[in-house]
Amino acid sequence: MLTEQDHEALRALLGAWALRACLPEEGAALERHFARCPDCAEEGERLRRAAARLHTDDPLDQPDGLRQQVLDFCLTRRAAELPVAAWAAPYAAETAKLDALLRDLGPGEWQETAELPWHGGVLRRRPAEVLCHLAAVDGLLAQALGLPDPVTGAEGRVPAQAGPSAGSADPFHALLDRSDRLARTQADAAPQEVRSLWRAQSRAMLRGAEPAAADKCVDYGFAVVPVRDAFLDRAFETWIHGEDVARAVDYPYAAPAPPHLRQMVDLAARMLPVALAGQRQAAYAGTAPAADGSARTLRLVIEGPANGEWLIPLDGAGPQQESGEPAATGDPVAELVIDGVEFCQLAAAHRDPDRLPVGEYGDRAAIREVLAAVPLLSRP
């Protein structure tokens, strides 16, 4: 006779059994248990019917988040074999989502041209070329994790030091050059081969996303950022370019999960003071205006699933803080209210700052300055 502990151990396997992910001996034990336990047999059958609706040939059109419901159930019963750090979870989700879209593409859809806007213009790439672009930029993070760079083939490199980057005088076009080099080497490969190259690299990066790696540095040429932020950055770009591809092939594509979206908003908000400083310096022909001792801030209010508030320094590139941890003394001179998805789309230069529906309170010039600076966070 089974003990209560034995019963719970078998019941914990139901989610994996429904997805046919049990070990053979586990599945056999469950089948024997079903004959003696109608409750487990009924629950197992219900989960298997639900799992049958998650067929790999139809991965993105499931209603009501069914796939995530089943996966969440499984994870409550059995922990993930490879736990993912919170700062790498958005990248794991966005690469899986893009891979599901790519799995559905037919031969003709791989030949469609996606438009990839950024603040320097619009790139036009076929889906396999978009993957080369993602893999090439991901390669900079891969190197910091000690993994091969798909562009050069080199494994790892000396970690970058925190602080200003000593990269190319034209770092954005250096990134484009990396993408073009990889696209040329993959020009004769079948699209699914390019997909496999990109997916293998993304999975290897997630295996390397260990807590000890969080503070290593990644040099993008225009900035040096810690690995934990680089993973968020790569998740953001994977989402945006995945949506670019989906738009080109007329395919539905969901926004990131609310907790992941909030992390992306937070990264963009923390980077925004640097964009403001660069914008101001360019306006003064390379010479920043003299500081007058002011410490103005703008309150950024994000609405929607990623809701929150951030104080953005307007007169310096120091880090901002979320509400409750003021970045500067005094009241904000203005408040900008915007939906989280729209804020991220603006940061990707996929929205016109002059046409975006926002709430504005206070110093309108400061608000206009911030809205114009947000797209400068985009890059090729």
Q: Which residue has the tokens 């920043």?
A: 288
User: Which of helix, strand or coil describes residue 19?
Assistant: coil
Distances, alpha carbon 33 to alpha carbons 3, 25, 45, 48, in Å: 12, 12, 13, 16
pLDDT in the model for residue 1 = 67
**Angle at which helices 364-373 and 258-283 pack, to 10 degrees?**
110
Distance, in Å, from the CA atom of 143 to the CA atom of 122, rounded to the nearest integer, reads: 28
Q: Which residue has the tokens 């901002």?
A: 320
Helices (H), the chain: 4-11, 14-18, 24-34, 38-52, 66-77, 89-104, 127-144, 171-185, 191-207, 227-248, 258-283, 340-347, 364-373
Burial of 186 (0-12, 13-18, 19+ CB in 10 A): buried
| pTM exceeds 0.95 | no
* CATH (one of 3.30.70.330, 3.40.50.300, 3.40.50.720, 1.20.120.450) for 89-254: 1.20.120.450
Does residue 174 contact residue 232 with C-beta atoms inside 8 Å? Answer: no
Domain range summary for the chain, segments of one domain joined by +: 4-77, 89-254, 259-377
Q: Which pairing describes strands 224-226 and 359-362: parallel, antiparallel, or unpaired?
A: unpaired
Of the candidates 274, 323, 328, 269, the residue with the CA atom closest to the CA atom of residue 297 = 328
3-state helix vs strand vs coil in the chain, percent to 5 = 50, 10, 35
CA 274 distance to own-chain centroid: 21
Topology (CATH) of 259-377:
Nonspecific Lipid-transfer Protein; Chain A (3.30.1050)
What long-range pairs does 290-296 form, CB within 8 A, spacing at least 24? 291/315, 291/316, 295/328, 295/329, 295/330, 296/328, 296/330, 296/332, 296/333, 296/366
Distance, in Å, from the CA atom of 290 to the CA atom of 254, rounded to the nearest integer, reads: 45
pLDDT in the model for residue 69 = 61
pLDDT in the model for residue 28 = 84
User: Both tokens of residue 280?
Assistant: 């101001």
pLDDT in the model for residue 165 = 44
Q: Which residue has the tokens 């670019």?
A: 244
User: Which of helix, strand or coil describes residue 298?
Assistant: strand
Angle at 356 between CA 299 and CA 367, to 5 degrees: 35
User: What string of pLDDT tens digits covers the 380 residues of the chain?
Assistant: 677 777 788 888 888 888 777 777 888 888 888 888 888 888 888 888 877 665 544 444 455 455 556 655 655 555 555 678 899 999 999 999 999 999 989 999 999 999 999 998 999 999 999 999 999 999 999 999 999 999 987 655 534 444 444 444 577 888 999 999 999 999 999 999 999 999 999 999 999 999 999 999 999 988 899 999 999 999 999 999 999 999 999 999 999 999 999 999 999 999 999 999 888 777 765 555 444 556 899 999 999 999 999 999 998 654 444 443 444 457 899 999 999 999 999 999 999 999 999 999 999 999 999 999 999 999 88
pLDDT in the model for residue 278 = 82
Of the candidates 180, 274, 268, the residue with the CA atom closest to the CA atom of residue 223 = 274
Of the candidates 243, 269, 259, the residue with the CA atom closest to the CA atom of residue 304 = 259
